[in-house]
Amino acid sequence: MASEMGIFETIYNCRAMRKLDSREVPQEDLEKLIGAANQAPSGSNNQNGRWIIVRNQEVKTKLAELNKAGVESYLAPMIKSPGSLSHQPEDKRRRMLEAVIWQKEHMHEIPALIIACIDFGTIPTPQMFAGGNGSIWPGIQNLLLAARALELGAAPTTLALTDRDKVAEVLNLPETVAAYCLIPVGYPLGNFGPVTRKPLSEILRYDTW
């Protein structure tokens, strides 16, 4: 049973799931994800994370257009030559890019696009905006883990949110609110599986570097 997944099993199997079915996800389950996100810590315990569940077709289509522009300018040129990383060979990288492209074409059909925001209570300076990352990403990760535990597919994305003025217009955001992440959520079309990460021998030090 998905609900019986332990915390470590969930963490180690929480892959970015981009190919999602268009079938509706019950509102109760979407609210469970926001509830989990809302348990995360925030700087000074400000609890200034705000979450928008977008299901309206018109709004989803506008966000999908913004994502398309973001993906095409940033990632599309890599499709011909995706390159490779020491920890991600070219075939895996190509498959990831294909999924990003799939999502670019289908984002408007995904049942829910969750937008992670911060309400600063005042118009944020660039420094405040940058600092907000530390308070919103713990909630985003909680949301991703909760989705995995419910066998829902999800992935953190930012390419749709590059043009902050357009995003604010589409989402009718007050001037005090900034959007940090768009998380498409739905039932997975692909298979769940373990994440592939660098070994501890490469990323861990004791006491000093």
Ligand X SMILES: Cc1cc2nc3c(=O)[nH]c(=O)nc-3n(C[C@H](O)[C@H](O)[C@H](O)COP(=O)(O)O)c2cc1C
Residue ranges in contact with ligand X by CB under 6 A: 15-16, 18, 96, 100, 103, 155-159, 195
Min. distance of Cβ 144 from ligand X in angstroms? 9
**Closer of 150 and 209 to ligand X (Cβ):** 150
Q: Which is nearer to ligand X, 103 or 142 (CB)?
A: 103
- Least Å distance, CB 206 to ligand X, is 26
Residue with Cβ nearer ligand X (96 or 175): 96
Query: DSSP H helical segments within the chain, as ranges?
Result: 7-12, 27-37, 57-74, 90-106, 126-149, 164-171, 200-203
CB of 159 to ligand X, least distance (A): 3
DSSP assignments along 64-109, one per residue: HHHHHHHHHHHTGGGTT----BTTB-HHHHHHHHHHHHHHHHHGGG
* 96/86 Cα distance (integer angstroms): 15
- Measured from the CB atom, is 9 or 175 closer to ligand X? 9
Strand 112-119 to strand 177-186: parallel, antiparallel, or no bridges (unpaired)? antiparallel
Length of the chain: 209
- Least gap, CB of 128 to ligand X (angstroms): 18
Which one, 111 or 184, has the nearer CB to ligand X? Answer: 184
What is the spatial distance between Cα 70 and Cα 104, in angstroms, rounded to a whole number? 9
**Angstrom distance (rounded) from CA 15 to CA 13:** 6
Smallest distance from ligand X to CB 196, Å: 6
DSSP-assigned letter for residue 189? S
Listed in sequence order, the residues at least 6 apart from 154 whose beta carbon sits closer than 8 Å to its beta carbon are 16, 17, 33, 114, 143, 144, 147, 148, 183, 184, 185
Which of 156/187 has CB closer to ligand X?
A: 156
- Shortest reach from residue 28's CB to ligand X, in Å: 26
